[in-house]
Amino acid sequence: MVNAPPAVDLVDLRKSFGDVVVLDGLTMRVPSGGVHALLGQNGAGKTTTVRILATLTRPDSGSARVAGHDVVRERRQVRRVISLAGQHAALDDGQTGLENLIMLARLAGLSGPAARARAAALLERFDLADAAGRQAVTYSGGMRRRLDLAASLVGAPSVIFLDEPTTGLDPRSRQGLWEVIGELAGAGVTVLLTTQYLEEADRLADRIMVLHHGGLVADGTAAELKGHFGAQRLELTWRDEASFAEAARRLGDRTTHREPARLALSVATDGSAPQVRGLLDEIDPDRHGVVRFTVREATLDDVFLTLTGRPVSPPREVTNV
């Protein structure tokens, strides 16, 4: 939409819990439309950012706007245009899928007939029509996440926040939810997705933002981030501990990844034959240390290693920051 405000606009956002600084001057802009992934280690500030944007937590300082509305001064206007699907499905297990959606539609101000129509349409859209009369407690994990996502769309939001939406799902259920998220973006909804599944971000996101120590350290498409921060990798496996240690000494801080247990390390390369040959001659001049080498394209894991100094955590939150 021409001249539409950004879906999310954060300027110098700060938030602490006691002595723990969670957001430290976060500045970030998310344009309207598409899927935008927010990545970061546990404690990087992803969930806190989402809670501030959803008006559930107040920032200590700085400004945060959603669809042009200030999250502190215009909370009611913000809540009219957003929806939040958190890490755990917010469902009444004693009610059926249909009853859950009708209840939420009524709370959103729809009349009885309109609420039933909206609930039926959402159940059909999320492939839950056959289970509409079953209690939510009987739903599988994937069905519960789809119902939770359907519930978040009762009010037809223009911006939806999905906080770790596929955590704990099996691959088939995750794939199904990916398809739904793609459909939402295709219908014009702005999706801000927090995730620790790098494949998920790579697959879904039009743009990826990386948080580290409460600030934004990277913003771009997956291809841009891989090209800028990842390059390509020359992965080397060594014959013994002595040759491994000597190679690590020669490379110094050019080493991008080390696995002493496997006697393996990696170094960035442009992938060209002359540079690969040069690197091999430099770090293994006697040609007796390297037993195997591979050149591969960068991944988002490499981006994480470059930006944070450590690999991405297992895909589950252990803190709420």
The answer to whether the CB of 235 falls within 8 A of the CB of 244 is: no
Q: Are residues 216 and 234 in the same domain?
A: no
Residue 287 lies in a domain: yes
What does the pLDDT read at residue 228?
77
What does the pLDDT read at residue 25?
95
With cut-offs at 50, 70 and 90, classify the pLDDT of residue 316. very low
Which of 195, 220, 245 delimits the end of a domain?
Answer: 220
Query: Average of pLDDT values for 170-187?
Result: 84
Domain count, the chain: 2
Q: Are residues 34 and 168 in the same domain?
A: yes
Q: Are residues 216 and 233 in the same domain?
A: no
With cut-offs at 50, 70 and 90, classify the pLDDT of residue 315. very low
Distance CA 239, CA 235 (A): 14
- Of the candidates 270, 255, 263, the one whose C-alpha atom is nearest the C-alpha of residue 305 is 255
Which of 220, 241, 276 delimits the end of a domain?
Answer: 220
Query: Average of pLDDT values for 292-318?
Result: 68
- Of the candidates 43, 5, 51, the one whose C-alpha atom is nearest the C-alpha of residue 24 is 43
Share of the chain above pLDDT 90, in %: 53
Asked if pLDDT for residue 318 goes beyond 80, the answer is: no
Q: Are residues 196 and 292 in the same domain?
A: no
Tens of pLDDT, residues 280-296: 999 899 888 999 999 88
Which of 192, 220, 248 delimits the end of a domain?
Answer: 220
Q: Are residues 266 and 190 in the same domain?
A: no
Tens of pLDDT, residues 232-265: 888 999 999 999 999 999 888 888 778 999 999 9
Query: Average of pLDDT values for 180-197?
Result: 88
Q: How many CB atoms lie within 10 A of CB 80?
A: 14
Range of the domain at 62: 8-220
What does the pLDDT read at residue 121?
92
- Of the candidates 187, 317, 292, the one whose C-alpha atom is nearest the C-alpha of residue 235 is 292
Q: Are residues 37 and 159 in the same domain?
A: yes
Torsion of the alpha carbons at 224, 229, 235 and 236, rounded to the nearest 10: 160
Where do we find the tokens 């297992």? Answer: 314
- Of the candidates 222, 213, 256, the one whose C-alpha atom is nearest the C-alpha of residue 24 is 213
What does the pLDDT read at residue 309?
65
Q: Are residues 201 and 247 in the same domain?
A: no
**pTM for this prediction:** 0.75
Tens of pLDDT, residues 136-156: 999 988 888 889 888 888 888
The answer to whether the CB of 61 falls within 8 A of the CB of 21 is: no
Half-sphere exposure of 7 (CA within 13 A, CB side): 25
Q: Are residues 181 and 148 in the same domain?
A: yes
- CATH number of the domain residue 24 falls in: 3.40.50.300
Where do we find the tokens 């959402």? Answer: 122
With cut-offs at 50, 70 and 90, classify the pLDDT of residue 2. low
61-66/69-70 β-pairing:
antiparallel
